[in-house]
Amino acid sequence: MQTLTVALADRSYPIHIGAGLLSRAELIAARLPQNKVAIITNTTLAPLYLEPLSRALEARGVGVMTVLLPDGEAHKNWETLNKIFDALIENRCERRTTLLALGGGVIGDLAGFAAAVYQRGVPFVQIPTTLLAQVDSAVGGKTAINHPLGKNMIGAFYQPLAVISDTDTLATLPDRELAAGLAEVIKYGLIRDAKFFDWLEKNMNRLVAREPEALAYAIERSCSNKADIVAADERETGIRALLNYGHTFGHAIEAGLGFGNWLHGEAVSAGMVLAAKLSQRMGLLARHDVTRVIDTLSRAGLPVAAPEFGIERYRALMGHDKKVEGGRIRFVLLKRLGDAFVADNVPADALNEVLGKQSARV
Amino acid sequence: MQTLTVALADRSYPIHIGAGLLSRAELIAARLPQNKVAIITNTTLAPLYLEPLSRALEARGVGVMTVLLPDGEAHKNWETLNKIFDALIENRCERRTTLLALGGGVIGDLAGFAAAVYQRGVPFVQIPTTLLAQVDSAVGGKTAINHPLGKNMIGAFYQPLAVISDTDTLATLPDRELAAGLAEVIKYGLIRDAKFFDWLEKNMNRLVAREPEALAYAIERSCSNKADIVAADERETGIRALLNYGHTFGHAIEAGLGFGNWLHGEAVSAGMVLAAKLSQRMGLLARHDVTRVIDTLSRAGLPVAAPEFGIERYRALMGHDKKVEGGRIRFVLLKRLGDAFVADNVPADALNEVLGKQSARV
């Protein structure tokens, strides 16, 4: 087991990464303010992971209740959140009852936001079971639900007591979801860790083949990058915005296709290619580097060509993004591979050119 | 104008108290991260206060949009909250758009919670227009909505940029609402400010007659007490619980009568009498002091006899309260007038005795 720390003063917490951690109940039990937890999970994951986790906790004298939610991003909304509140209130859960988010990004976002606002905040633990959640959404305290008019529009910055990433859970992950997680892994290399990007280029085959050591290393290095950024800028007033590399385009792609058609990581992959092309168009990135980005994403099994919505529709779709400030769209661009920055002065013609031929190769 | 500070390090903020502050737009404008605000108010208050406020802001170049909500505690729920989100998203409000909560406790709780979770948090300013909100709910960062199974069950601790209490707004306040605010004013005297309680005993007639100087002094002293407590314990892990004096009983009374039949301050008044009697029954408070509590509340125009629900129903109603820990009900009791503490070892027979004859005088 590897353990990293997200350094946030009195709200610092550990990220544990390794095999077999679901049954290591002491990692959770030691942090509970009260011997009572509510496991929030979904109907797909419950048959796989609920019993080992709850049995291990109960063996340590922890009272366990379970809230079973429907599976899928379509359910990341107020109605599902309310199911959690109903169950917590009916079971008289108090301010020291700890919520355990057992699942992927949707479960983590829902359970985390429920923890942030139930009785104005109760403790919670992230137990991510997808690669995407283990390297990204479970780390850093962003929680949210979707609103009919926008993704992640309602949420909170709310840090967990701990993140417990059991790499065994990746064995059952569908290929498409593994690839979607790799998109965010590659992102860390691109925005601030050139050596990691080199490693990813060399080891992508091992990751796609799910070699446990390679996956564990990629998760650890990803979490380490994210932990650094979150510690420096918890509420995204500065450097944390770099984590949105590829996401302004990606969110537009997700919204344009209708949420749920492409996975988040798939949209981000195509979005990162657009952002790399925009960086090239701005005279920052060499054509060769854009090719390296595209090839690495391709080898991870990810889409690299964005849908052809046309310039106007892309611009409209990006207008609702949270990264808008003062009516101006801000883009995260690359100075070079491994070094990103926020640009708020992208000329319209550069953007239009990239959006207008987004399905072409460089 | 008097100005106090709630000292919370980088989230410290001023409370301004005085006449004519609604048109002092500079108090707000100076704190805005962006020249754009959304005023959240209700259909009762808008005809009275919306125009002077928005005109003053617009004269300073601030873009103003308005969200009009229905009036009343019955609307402090998810549906109304969603009306705020809809309006913010439709108007493309961004992370630096500031929400202005113009109204009483319901508006402050709704707009404050909307600010806490819209795009994971936007700035907001409290502009309370009732005595209750000016002395209590607008100060300290508690925001929430009700859940069908419990009051204030869903919310956040989220501090405003500033609190602006225009005492002119109290002139139009119905008598019952003025009295409800005085309940919380009296509470500060009872829990930690014996001299203020003495002052209140002597000056209650002036307050009921709405003498501006008396009201301004009572608001300032109340806010000063609350600011001290919030600065010491923002998230209610310790001393802040003293602010719940009378509230465990009070919430039970509100729930038992159906929310909205008694005003919150009325239920708290009867609850404070029960808590004083329980303190007497525990051998802490003299009979004479209980009489002083009852008389002062009576002279403020408040109910001092709680409804007769019977012991069992009271106990059931109190079980859902947020002040429950480990299944045990915790009560705030008085050692003497001006000195409260949290008791978690109240014997069942003492509680039963107080609940069983709650409508009798001491």
Probe site for chain B from A34, A36, A154 (most B CB atoms < 10 A) = A154
Query: Which site among A120, A145, A251 would you substitute to test the B interface, given the most B Cβ atoms closer than 10 Å to its Cβ?
Result: A120
pLDDT digits (tens, 9 = 90+) for B112-139: 999 999 999 999 999 999 999 999 999 9
What's the average model confidence in pLDDT over A80-107?
96
Mean pLDDT along residues B208-218: 96
User: Mean pLDDT in chain B?
Assistant: 94
User: Is pLDDT larger for residue A326 or for residue B38?
Assistant: B38
| pLDDT beyond 70 at B358 | no
SS3 B66: strand
**Residues A184/A222, Cβ–Cβ less than 8 Å:** yes
Question: In this complex, which of B94, B156, B326 lies closest to A324 when CB atoms are compared?
Answer: B94
Cα B28 to the chain's mean position, in Å?
A: 22
* A·B CB contacts under 8 A: 95
CB contact under 8 A, B147 and A326: no
Secondary-structure percent of chain B, ordered helix, strand, coil, rounded to 5: 50, 20, 30
In chain A, pLDDT over 70 holds for what percent of residues?
96
Q: In this predicted structure, which of A87-101, A130-144, B195-209, B313-327 has the lowest mean pLDDT?
A: B313-327
pLDDT score of A361 more than 50: no
Residue of B90, B117, B230 best to disrupt the A interface, most CBs of A under 10 A: B117
Q: Which of A 94-133 lie inside 8 A of B, CB atoms?
A: 94-96, 113, 116-121
Torsion sign, CA atoms A117, B118, A77, A14: negative
> ipTM for the complex?
0.89
Q: Radius of gyration of chain A from Cα atoms? A: 20
* CATH number assigned to the domain covering A2-172: 3.40.50.1970
Whether the pLDDT of residue A230 is over 70: the answer is yes
Quick check: A157 and B121 CB within 8 A?
yes
**CATH tag, A175-356:** 1.20.1090.10
Average pLDDT rounded to a whole number, residues B248-253: 94
Rounded to two decimals, the pTM is: 0.91
Q: What pLDDT, on the 0 to 100 scale, is given for residue B362?
A: 39
Convert the pLDDT of each residue in B254-305 to its tens digit: 989 987 789 999 999 999 999 999 999 999 999 999 999 999 999 999 999 9
**Three-class SS state of A151:** strand
- Which sequence spans correspond to the domains of chain A? 2-172, 175-356
Residue A226 confidence (pLDDT): 97
Measured CA to CA, the distance from residue A346 to residue A197 in angstroms comes to: 26
CA–CA dist B5, B18 (Å, integer): 15
Instruction: Give A142→chain B minimum CA distance, Å.
Output: 8
- What does the pLDDT read at residue B52? 94
Query: Over the stretch A299-330, which tens digit does the pLDDT of each residue have?
Result: 999 999 999 999 999 989 987 555 555 557 88
Sequence-ordered strand ranges (E) for chain B:
2-6, 13-18, 36-42, 63-69, 98-103, 124-128, 142-147, 150-157, 162-166, 324-325, 328-329, 331-336, 339-343
Cα separation, B200 vs B196, in Å, equals 6
Residue of A nearest to B83 (CA): A147
Q: What is the mean pLDDT of chain A?
A: 94
The pLDDT of residue B199 is: 98
Q: Output the pLDDT for position A237.
A: 87
Strand (E) or helix (H) holding A155: strand A150-157
Q: Say if residue B324's pLDDT is above 60.
A: no
Going by C-beta distance under 8 Å and a sequence separation of 6 or more, which residues neighbour residue B338? B189, B190, B191, B192, B193, B194, B195, B196, B197
**pLDDT higher than threshold 50 for residue A360:** no
Specify the pLDDT at position B359.
Answer: 46
On the question of pLDDT at B320 being above 70, the answer is no
Q: Within 10 A of B316 (CB to CB), how many other CB atoms are there?
A: 14
Question: How confident is the model over B41-58, as pLDDT tens digits?
Answer: 999 999 999 999 999 999
Residue range B57-115, pLDDT digits in tens: 999 999 999 999 999 889 999 999 999 999 999 999 999 999 999 999 999 999 999 99
Facing residue for A85 by CB, picked from B121, B154, B325: B154
Q: Chain A contact for B60, CB < 8 A?
A: no
For domain B176-356, the CATH architecture is Up-down Bundle (1.20)
Dump pLDDT digits (tens) for A162-209.
Answer: 999 999 999 999 999 999 999 999 999 999 999 999 999 999 999 999
Number of other CB atoms surrounding residue B258 within 10 Å: 8
Instruction: Kindly list the residues from chain B whose CB atom is less than 8 angstroms away from the CB atom of residue A78.
Output: 78, 82
Same fold yes or no, B2-172 and B176-356: no
Please check the confidence at residue A138 and state whether its pLDDT lies above 70.
yes
CA angle B163, B165, B168 (to 5 degrees): 165
Q: Which residues make beta-bridge pairs with B147? A: B150
Closest among A171, A221, A172 to A17, alpha carbons compared: A221
Give residue-wise pLDDT tens across range A8-67.
998 999 999 999 999 999 999 999 999 999 999 999 999 999 999 999 999 999 999 999
